[in-house]
Amino acid sequence: MPGPTREPLTFYRTPLPGVEISELQGKLIVIEGPDAVGRSTQVRRLKTWLEEAGHAVLDTGMARSALAGKGIRQAKQGNTLGPVTMTLYYLTDFADRLENEIIPALRAGFVVLMDRYIFSIMARAIARGESRAWIERTTGIALVPHLVLYLRADVKDLISRVVVGRGAFDYWESGLDLGFGHDMYDSFVRYQTRLIRVFDRLSKPYGFEVVDAGRPAEEVFEALQASILNTLAGRNVVKAAGKTAGRTGGRRKGGASRPTFYPTSPRPSSSPAPE
């Protein structure tokens, strides 16, 4: 399954104790993007497609951990979930899945298809005013994926999906805990606009491959398939990592003198890792 130029996985900043990185043979593919962008539908179709091609696939998403999934769902029923608490609860859920599902699956050579990754946790925290340095270090226990597909859409596309698909606005997706706007609609627009802006800012330093999700679902699916095929063949791994290195190491365009993001321990772009 691994492609000819497969690079070893690395952790962003802080290696988890007890993980032998060279044992991880699988591919880690992340689908990210705001609420109601159509991620889950795409992940389902991609899973079927990959399995048809003979890959073993683990698909996982937020609040699905055995440890914290139920607790998070219960916590969201109340309205006393503070922003730091929410961030850390989701991170607990993420870490549980990382250590108990994702890493074992990668060790076994699976394609791990993630419906959201640390970037949603980061975006929500940053959109709620938490420090970016804090959240970047905190999520530094994550593995650098082989591919991050960012489903990008404008707020108006999300709204039509919410109205047509779900018929109602959700409390948390509307960011009502932030106290913006007079009603669910106003709040949804302001909160999701802010989230999209954060995702956009994360895009370059973290090497997202941006997929225009404002198109019909079929076209989006084809675009995702093409990128995933490249990754499975080992073709676009280096490119994503190269972007990461270029952006975090030096100055950004526009003259900002300090890097916006903390270094993400990118994979070397040409030579193999020393170990």
**List of residues contacting another protein (CB under 8 A):** 13-18, 66-68, 70-71, 74-75, 78, 80-85, 87-89, 91-92, 95-96, 99-100, 130-131, 133-134, 137-138, 140-141
Residue 92 or 269 having the CB closest to another protein: 92
Closest approach of another protein to the CB of residue 73, in Å:
11
Residue 68 or 211 having the CB closest to another protein: 68
Closest approach of another protein to the CB of residue 133, in Å:
8
Closest approach of another protein to the CB of residue 204, in Å:
23
Closest approach of another protein to the CB of residue 45, in Å:
31
Residue 242 or 263 having the CB closest to another protein: 263
Token pair in block for residue 181: 């706007």
Residue 43 or 91 having the CB closest to another protein: 91
Backbone angles phi, psi at 42, to 5 degrees: -65, -40
* Cα angle, residue 36 at apex, residues 27 and 228 outer, rounded to 5°: 20
Closest approach of another protein to the CB of residue 98, in Å:
8
Q: How far apart are CA 154 and CA 134, in angstroms?
A: 28
Token pair in block for residue 216: 């019909």
Residue 138 or 192 having the CB closest to another protein: 138
Residue 79 or 160 having the CB closest to another protein: 79
Closest approach of another protein to the CB of residue 236, in Å:
30
Closest approach of another protein to the CB of residue 219, in Å:
39
Return the bridge partners of 111, or none. 27, 57
Residue 12 or 110 having the CB closest to another protein: 12
Question: Which candidate, 207, 199, 211, 217, places its Cα nearest to that of 237?
Answer: 207
| Cβ within 8 Å of residue 210, ≥6 positions away | 150, 152, 203
| Cβ within 8 Å of residue 238, ≥6 positions away | 5, 7, 267, 269, 270
